[in-house]
Amino acid sequence: MRLMADDAAMSAVPLLTEPQIDVVVQRYLREMARFEKTAAVIADRLRRELRAEGNLRYLLSFRAKHPDDLREKLRRKSEERDARYAFEALSNEIGEVVTDLAGCRVVVYTVPDEERVSALVRRIFTLPARSDARPAPIRRSSGYQATHTLVLAPDAPDDTSIRGTICEVQVATVAAHLFNELEHDITYKKLGHPATNAEQRLLSSVERACKLADHLVEQLLDERTRGKAHLTGISDAAELRFALERATARPLSGDFARGSIEAWGPGR
């Protein structure tokens, strides 16, 4: 009975027509500069904070969603009968419905680094007051592997044009990023044609290989850290901080964060 009720509710959600989708895309084109600026501002703040973290290798990119990608997303959501993507809601404030119009992506080496960066994102940015902001994002056990967090553009006293605009920040490992791009094109966007059974099997093999790569990379870097400590010893606070952060998989603060040998002088 519950399934029948859900099916009935889905069928009651009207499909977006192509003229309606075109209206939404045209409105987005008029507002696109706001989302481009939001992504750039979020990325700039994130870059400065990541540099301050130290001992962290990463790739950072940002963008505003391409209008063609928005058009395809609206078509998919309409076919799925997603009630959130009603024409009226999209007309009121498109950025409240399509929350990845502004986006930043951070690619790191390991899962602990992914968790560390995601915690940093939640610490330095304000999260929107909505259920899908997910104050504690969780990686999926299968399929697309990344941590997504919705954040708000920070207030700027000299510019209020982006205030309150939502940006989606994605954090993933290098290996997961490879799988994510393939999975996104093959099973989500269905570029060219829906995935065949053979393609699905191969994609599952790639997923397993990427998870193994995540595990091996983490082991390799841990071994690298142990090897450095064994060969050279720990000579200053910066090296001690690096070793402890690798061991605990989280950033340290206080005297460690200053990274100064003076912090370990007399009386410590």
Number of Cβ within 10 Å of residue 71's Cβ equals: 16
Q: For residue range 178-189, list pLDDT tens digits in order.
A: 999 888 888 876
**CA–CA dist 194, 106 (Å, integer):** 29
Q: 43 lies in a domain?
A: yes
Q: Convert the pLDDT of each residue in 166-176 to its tens digit.
A: 999 999 999 99
Q: Is residue 55 part of a domain?
A: yes
Residue 106 lies in a domain: yes
pLDDT at 119 over 90: yes
* Domain-embedded: residue 7: yes
Predicted confidence (pLDDT) per residue in 153-163, tens digit: 987 767 778 98
In a domain, residue 41? The reply is yes
| pLDDT at residue 112 greater than cutoff 80 | yes
Show the tokens assigned to 33.
């500069």
Q: Is residue 169 part of a domain?
A: yes
Q: Is 151 left (phi over 0), alpha (psi -120 to 50) or beta?
A: beta
243: left (phi over 0), alpha (psi -120 to 50) or beta: alpha
Alpha-carbon gap, residue 152 to 45, rounded angstroms = 12
| 3 band by pLDDT with thresholds 50, 70 and 90 | very low
pLDDT of residue 238: 66
Whole-number Cα distances in Å, 124 to 43, 129, 142, 236, 249:
12, 16, 29, 28, 19
Q: Give the pLDDT confidence score for residue 268 in this predicted structure.
A: 39
Average pLDDT of the chain is 82
Q: What is the mean pLDDT of residues 43-64?
A: 93
Distance of CA 42 to the CA centre of its chain: 12
User: Is a pLDDT exceeding 80 seen at residue 20?
Assistant: yes
| 161 within some domain | yes
* pLDDT of amino acid 165: 94
**pLDDT(237) > 50:** yes
Q: Which two tokens stand for residue 235?
A: 């000579």
Residue bearing tokens 């340290």: 252
The parent domain of residue 71 ranges over 2-174
Tell me phi and psi for residue 74, to 5 degrees: -60, -40
CATH number assigned to the domain comprising residue 148 = 3.30.460.10
Determine the pLDDT at residue 244: 66
User: What's the confidence (pLDDT) of residue 14?
Assistant: 79
Q: What is the domain count for the chain? A: 1
Spatial neighbors of 7 by CB under 8 A, at least 6 apart, are: none
β-bridge pairing 58-64 and 102-108: antiparallel
| Residue 23 predicted with pLDDT over 70 | yes
Q: Report yes or no on 88 lying in a domain.
A: yes
